[in-house]
Amino acid sequence: MKQNATRMSIMLDTMLEDDGVTLKSYDSSKSLGKKFYIVKNYVKKNKSIILDIGTESENTFEIAKNVTRCKKIYGVNIEEGFEHYSDSELENMKNFKFYNGYSIPFKDKMFDVITIFYVLHHIKKPILKKLIKDIDRVLKKDGYVVIVDHNVHTKEIKKIVEKEHKLFSPSGDYYMKLMTMDEIRELFPDSYEICEQSYNSSIYNYHAKFHMVLQKK
């Protein structure tokens, strides 16, 4: 299974190169590029508008546009965790906005695609319900939600992911409720249909993940 995961990573690297996509050499950019390569299949070139929920850095916008060829991409995140960003860095993120975690500061039916990468398991249930409702508000009819998250298909993987998170927050000052692919699907209304889903189930890889694409009908 470990070999399969490695082959998949190599295959995605090759696909990105063949498609003329150039990414910076560091791992975080490559990882983000691979996520947006999934998104690319649901983007109309120079027409689609993307919203990224949980944007982590200014690199997100450059990479997303480079990989998907979308018209525009916007991003939102809570203020916590951005204390280390200077005012000039935040100014460079022109399409980025802070929000309260559930009320998305954009107009109704604005987006063709919404991406959510490793975010949902950090949101408490009452807020999560509000967020899903607002995602539905800002997403166009026939639009897509692309989710990538931890594939906690075994107790062993779940324990590894929990330990990995604690390394980055030794004080324990964070919320985490890991969910299965089915549990995340149930968060969305029945009118959302699964277009695509895939997972890496390697027990040797603590980054075992799944991706799911839902379409709003």
Decide which of 66 and 25 is more confident. Answer: 66
Determine the structural domain holding residue 50 and report its residue range: 2-216
- pLDDT-derived band at 75 (thresholds 50, 70, 90) equals very high
Average pLDDT (47-73) is 93
* Residue range 160-203, pLDDT digits in tens: 777 776 766 655 566 778 888 899 999 999 999 999 998 876 55
- Cα(94)–Cα(209) distance, rounded to whole angstroms? 30
pLDDT of residue 155: 72
Average pLDDT (48-57) is 93
CATH code: domain of residue 149: 3.40.50.150
Which of 19-33, 38-52, 78-92 is predicted least confidently? 19-33
- Cα(92)–Cα(81) distance, rounded to whole angstroms? 17
The predicted model scores a pTM of 0.81
Based on the structure, what is the number of domains in the chain? 1
- Cα(165)–Cα(147) distance, rounded to whole angstroms? 19
CA dihedral sign, ordered 183, 185, 189, 191: negative
According to DSSP, the β-strands at 209-216 and 139-150 are: antiparallel
Decide which of 6 and 199 is more confident. Answer: 199
